[in-house]
Amino acid sequence: MTLGRDMEKAIGSLRFALVYFSSGIFGFVLGGNFAATGIASTGCSGSLFGILALMLLDLLYTWRERKSPIKDLLFILLDVLIAFALGLLPGLDNFSHIGGFLMGLVLGICLLHSPAAFRRRTGLDEPPYSDMPMANSRNDGAIGDRRDMRSFVKQPLSFFKGRRGLWWAWWFVRAGALLGALIGFILLLKNFYEWRTTCSWCKYLSCLPVNNWCNVGNLEFTNTTKTRRDLAGLGVEVFKTAPRY
């Protein structure tokens, strides 16, 4: 409630909601592929890991502007380590934490303002995090500003005019991160429904090899579906063996 509140006030509700729900969904999909079959992935921990990733990126982007960046970094890392360690206990899905954190990093790269050092080198101003930024502020390429979307639709070439090489490099990093997350999400869905490929060591990301913890939730399923012909034959047999009065 404290970390999420501060981050939502900083970047706005729209960006916050996008990261929150996307991180939770991606975390559950990752857990559905690699967690034990009997582990029910529920709750908002994956989404909160996405918010922690946003906080970590924001800290790294504004490192020199912080009063005590080392203290802030240790606080974030402590939160991540504690939550990750709790995810190693039996019955918990640590893959949802990992997936949420990864998606938070990807969307943070796409949605947050560029690093302060990057803006100083390119001479770009930092517009405020709002739905309608100031008209005189030049955007640094972050996704989500309505004014820039409208101007891009009306004059797409003017949006890229005068951009420096460093801006283009960072833009491609953002686009590549978003494309990679989309491809990874599609592959995970494909693997969940069709391929069902697993790995032998992945389970240790969500459990400790202590007291047979890594076997908790590993259920074995047997397909007992019968065809219509089998069911019809079963019905005849039941009718023949039924007691008569």
Known catalytic residue at 113: no
Residue 227, SS3 per DSSP: coil
Known catalytic residue at 97: yes
Residues 104-149: pLDDT tens digits?
A: 999 999 999 888 777 777 666 555 565 433 334 445 545 445 555 5
Side-chain-side CA neighbours of 73 within 13 Å: the count stands at: 12
**CA pair distance 217, 91, nearest whole angstrom:** 7
The domains of the chain are located at 2-241
pTM score, two decimals? 0.76
Own/partner long-range contacts of 79-87 (Cβ < 8 Å, ≥24 apart): 79/3, 79/52, 80/49, 80/52, 80/56, 83/45, 83/48, 83/49, 83/52, 87/45, 87/206
Which residue in the list 45, 47, 96, 206 is annotated as catalytic?
A: 45
**CA pair distance 120, 102, nearest whole angstrom:** 27
**CA pair distance 5, 3, nearest whole angstrom:** 5
Answer yes or no: are the C-beta atoms of 191 and 184 closer than 8 Å. no
Which residue in the list 41, 97, 114, 206 is annotated as catalytic?
A: 97
Q: Which residue has the higher pLDDT, 33 or 227?
A: 33
Q: Above pLDDT 90, what percent of the chain?
A: 33
Residues 137-183: pLDDT tens digits?
A: 445 545 445 555 566 667 666 666 667 777 788 889 999 999 999 99
Residue 82 parent element (H or E): helix 69-86
**CA pair distance 136, 129, nearest whole angstrom:** 14
